[in-house]
């Protein structure tokens, strides 16, 4: 099957391939009607979040400012048509692309055809197709769509094509969803920011000098600008939670083998040393919940047998399990490897203070156990061929190796394993998981509250510490990122309202590690002014 709108000639340079992909993306945006004004660099401020309000119509703004739970009700009742809703989101997504470079293509023909079918069905039967009837959902590019390019961020892979929709898309489609836009990802899919030689750098809508996160950074920026309110990301070291945190969103990394991943495209297919997972980014917690409930109600384990066959466990079941005792929340202030920047510690302090006011919650200090070792173990298992397949995919087109690709692929823990060294690495993984589980059992906590990263959204090309997210991939624990409702503010910091002074680095601070020195230097160099506008988020970790 030929991919949709890939027109590159045989033997084209990597620059020509990238130019073709960008032309295609721009053409899909130009096809929207009525046309959108073209913004110049001088039109784009540091904080871009106010720009959609100056471009879109009042109705488009009303629609795109609704959350998932509001939209599904309005669509199911017929108060708003699927066509009207998807048109509004396509236009806002196109604006988001100009502001942050987050889109690989708008799927207007496919989306409008789907929307018309849904509207006709509702008119004819009076019933919605399913719980997501007419809901626009954005999709990270490497989640396959039938007939569409599936390059996974590699120039050499342009022209590969999805043979069918990924299983997760099939289930969402049956529930009534509309897929209308695909989003950017980084070279290798292994950055905590989003930059590729195909599309360039995706930036943060709240402060364009910062990263939107990665590897689902296109989703993060798009949902952050409400060009989507529910999108699909993937995560093997923080790739859902990093963009969710950086853009002030809810993002959920399920336990691996909980939601279906068949049909995505990535290197090292078949590797099960550290298993990636797939999940939602949303403007609301209910959007996350509805996404997961819908997927599990489709019983994906019947078609992807490796999945854990556990249905949705509802709120009543969880309350029954906790009945008779308080909720026990363990708190990680720092992981003893990297101290978080002051805005994160200040936010964590505020949340803990609120929890301590509750008669239904016990808060305990969680002493981290060998989180530095956790990084050594997981980094050793990310690229068991010594990153040979990743490097070959990059070399095949002649595209340059990007700085954060080089940083992760040439990490000192990366090695080409023999069978015996791989077995040994698996034993180390299992031993770490067993030890951590024993500690959790002993302390008897229900969840852990912790930072989602060593700071708010990092400066571009500086996201080099994964420990606050990859820790939970190694342990295979589910984790959700949530915004705390504040942003880094120059004015509030100056007035002491953020309590940053209490959480500033002490005089003559001695970093705990090389990674901590790096993170400390970033704060010393940029301080509040460098991160102004960035949302502040935290992470909640559980066990399946």
Please give the positions annotated as active site.
140, 215, 239
Work out the number of other CB atoms within 10 angstroms of the CB of residue 525: 10
Decide if 211 contacts 229 (C-beta within 8 A).
no
Q: Which of 433, 442, 473 is nearest to 330 (CA)?
A: 442
Q: Are 209 and 125 in contact (CB under 8 A)?
A: no
Give, in order, the Cα–Cα distances in Å from 54 to each of 48, 58, 95, 198, 377: 11, 10, 11, 30, 49
Q: What does the alpha-carbon distance between residue 112 and residue 81 come to, in Å, rounded to a whole number?
A: 11
Backbone φ and ψ for 493, nearest 5 degrees, come out as -65, -40
> Measuring CA to CA, which residue among 170, 142, 336 is closest to residue 234?
142
Q: At what angle do helices 82-100 and 68-76 cross, to 10 degrees?
A: 150
Strand, helix or coil for residue 317: helix
User: How many Å apart are CA 411 and CA 466, to the nearest integer?
Assistant: 12
- Residue from 68, 110, 75, 76 nearest 90 by CA: 110
* Calpha distance 184→204 (Å, rounded): 13
237 with 190: CB under 8 angstroms? yes
Question: Cα separation of 345 and 347, whole Å?
Answer: 5
Q: CA-to-CA distance for 325 and 17, rounded, in angstroms? A: 60
Rounded CA-CA distance 541/544 in Å is 10
Residue 237 · residue 470 · CB < 8 Å: yes
Distance CA 484, CA 136 (A): 26
Helix (H) or strand (E) holding 361: strand 361-365
Count of all residues that appear for the chain in the document: 544
The span from the CA of 420 to the CA of 418, in Å, is 5
Contact between 308 and 257 under an 8 Å Cβ cutoff? The reply is: yes
């Amino acid at each position: 099957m030929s991919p949709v709108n890939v027109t590159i000639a045989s033997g084209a340079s990597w620059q020509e391939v990238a130019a073709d992909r960008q032309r295609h993306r721009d053409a899909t945006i130009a096809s929207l009607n009525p046309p959108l004004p073209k913004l110049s660099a001088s039109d784009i401020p540091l904080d871009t979040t106010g720009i959609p309000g100056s471009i879109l119509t009042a109705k488009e703004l009303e629609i795109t400012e609704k959350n998932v739970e509001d939209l599904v009700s309005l669509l199911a009742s017929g108060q708003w048509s699927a066509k009207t809703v998807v048109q509004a989101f396509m236009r806002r997504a196109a604006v988001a692309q100009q502001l942050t470079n987050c889109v690989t293509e708008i799927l207007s023909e496919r989306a409008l055809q789907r929307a018309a079918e849904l509207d006709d069905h509702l008119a004819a039967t009076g019933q919605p197709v399913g719980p997501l009837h007419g809901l626009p959902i954005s999709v990270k590019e490497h989640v396959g769509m039938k007939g569409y390019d599936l390059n996974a961020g590699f120039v050499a892979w342009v022209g590969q094509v999805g043979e069918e929709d990924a299983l997760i898309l099939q289930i969402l489609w049956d529930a009534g969803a509309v897929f209308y836009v695909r989003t950017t990802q980084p070279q290798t899919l292994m950055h905590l920011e989003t930059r590729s030689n195909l599309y360039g750098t995706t930036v943060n809508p709240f402060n364009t000098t910062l990263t939107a996160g990665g590897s689902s950074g296109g989703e993060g920026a798009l949902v952050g600008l409400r060009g989507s309110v529910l999108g699909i990301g993937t995560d093997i070291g923080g790739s859902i939670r990093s963009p969710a945190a950086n853009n002030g969103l809810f993002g959920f990394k399920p336990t691996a083998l909980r939601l279906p991943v068949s049909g995505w495209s990535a290197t090292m297919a078949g590797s099960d040393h550290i298993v990636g997972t797939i999940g939602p980014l949303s403007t609301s917690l209910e959007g996350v919940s509805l996404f997961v409930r819908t997927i599990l109600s489709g019983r994906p384990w019947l078609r992807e047998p490796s999945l854990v066959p556990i249905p949705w466990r509802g709120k009543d079941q969880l309350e029954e399990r906790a009945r008779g005792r308080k909720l026990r929340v363990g708190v990680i202030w720092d992981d003893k490897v990297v101290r978080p920047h002051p805005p994160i510690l200040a936010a964590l302090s505020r949340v803990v203070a609120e929890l301590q006011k509750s008669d239904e919650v016990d808060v305990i200090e969680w002493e981290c156990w060998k989180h530095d070792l956790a990084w050594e173990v997981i980094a050793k298992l990310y690229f068991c061929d010594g990153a040979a397949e990743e490097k070959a995919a990059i070399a095949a087109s002649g595209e340059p190796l990007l700085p954060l690709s080089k940083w992760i692929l040439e990490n000192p823990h990366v090695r080409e394993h023999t069978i015996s060294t791989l077995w040994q690495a698996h034993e180390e993984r299992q031993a770490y998981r067993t030890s951590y589980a024993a500690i959790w059992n002993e302390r008897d906590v229900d969840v852990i509250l912790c930072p989602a990263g060593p700071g708010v959204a990092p400066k571009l090309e500086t996201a080099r510490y994964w420990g606050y997210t990859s820790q939970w991939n190694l342990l295979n624990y589910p984790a959700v990122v949530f915004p705390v409702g504040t942003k880094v503010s120059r004015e509030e910091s100056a007035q002491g309202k953020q309590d940053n002074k209490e959480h500033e680095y002490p005089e003559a601070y001695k970093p705990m590690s090389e990674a901590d020195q790096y993170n400390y230097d970033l704060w010393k160099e940029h301080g509040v002014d460098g991160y102004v506008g960035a949302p502040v988020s935290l992470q909640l970790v559980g066990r399946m």
